[in-house]
Structure 1
Amino acid sequence: MHETIRLGVTRLQSALDCPLCFWISRRLGSPPSIFAGIPAQIDSVIKNYMKQFIGNSDLPEWFPVRGTLMDASHTLRAIDPATGITVAGRLDALVKTADGEYHIIDYKTGRPPEEVPNYYQMQLDGYAYLLEQNDFRPVVGGTLLYFTPKHGNLSEGLFPFKITEVRAEVDPSRIPPVLALAKEILDLPTPPPRSEDCEMCMWREQVEHTLSE
């Protein structure tokens, strides 16, 4: 493959999860999926609410990091010099602390995990990579900020949420090796073997077996 490779931060982990699925998605696109409407609306409400604090250090009490909220509305891009891959991503929120350090905030819905899942860790590392490639240094950490529905009085038409922060370290140096692997996979002229534990591939094989009977 000789065309320019562009990868979103949210796709980086898939190169590690299953080479075959990653290879197929490059040629056919991602499989169809239904994006949940309520989480998308919650995400939009949070981002719109936080717009009023951009450039301000007087942030809500529930916000996990003290500092100045930066304008993170633009997509960041960077070209990896070793592979030529263009990496892109847009942060939910970015805070610059009083000592000049940057902290990534990523909004999530649902039940917060005890530890940061690999998929989200790669996402945070990818954002840190993009920030440092665009001269936002140093990036010292990330936070997954979970908004979880909780029981409460809905008589006034308001839906209560519990807000939980899950802190994570970030390491932008983890990204170049992943990009090297991604290029190696995508440059293959024929499909690579699947991961042994890939549920999507196992399901696809079951479908093929059923249709061939």
Structure 2
Amino acid sequence: MTALAHESPIASTLDDFTTRPTAFIAALPIPDGVRVEFIERNYYMAPPANAEHNRWAVDLIVQLRAAGIDAALIGNGYCSEPAGEKHVTGAFIPDFEIPYRRPNEADEAYRSSHDGWYPASMLHLVGEITSPSNARIDREEKYRTYARAGIPVYLLIDREKGLAICHSEPVDRGEESYYRVADPVKLGEKVQLPDGLPTLDTAKLN
């Protein structure tokens, strides 16, 4: 991902830049296939991922669904409003995710009032697959953002380091949020997900 230049927003959305990030993103002329997210007070623009990245995301979804996790999916956007905050502090589109539920009436109402973004409270697991351009963000900024949002499990597939790291037990400490537990395995090995979720075989990623 790369930081979105501040001079690019259209003038009518300047008031939304920090107070309503979902409205700001909705107003941008974003090319097809490009993602814009709001992480730790910064906007990030990510170009379309490469073929291996996308194959791995699909492979993981197939494994989850084969294990009975029918809710596993790709592509939805979510936003978080931690306790004590007046505004959305994170708007993110995970590479893959496991929601607790299908969107209910309250979730759809939230999405409508937040410019197309569902509440992060729906999420049981989020997953990211690193690329050279965004690996640090996935390891650091998104790690803290997901912990602060209270998402129980963050699975990081770190292609550059050759690791799959399962983070669990989030702790909200504001900008110092973290996960108490980190279970790394080498890519090619199996990673056991917590909270009754299945084991994933990273040797099947190709």
TM-score between the two structures when normalised by the length of structure 2? 0.40
Quick one: higher RCO (CA 8 Å, sep 6+), 1 or 2?
Answer: 1
Larger gyration radius, structure 1 or structure 2: 1
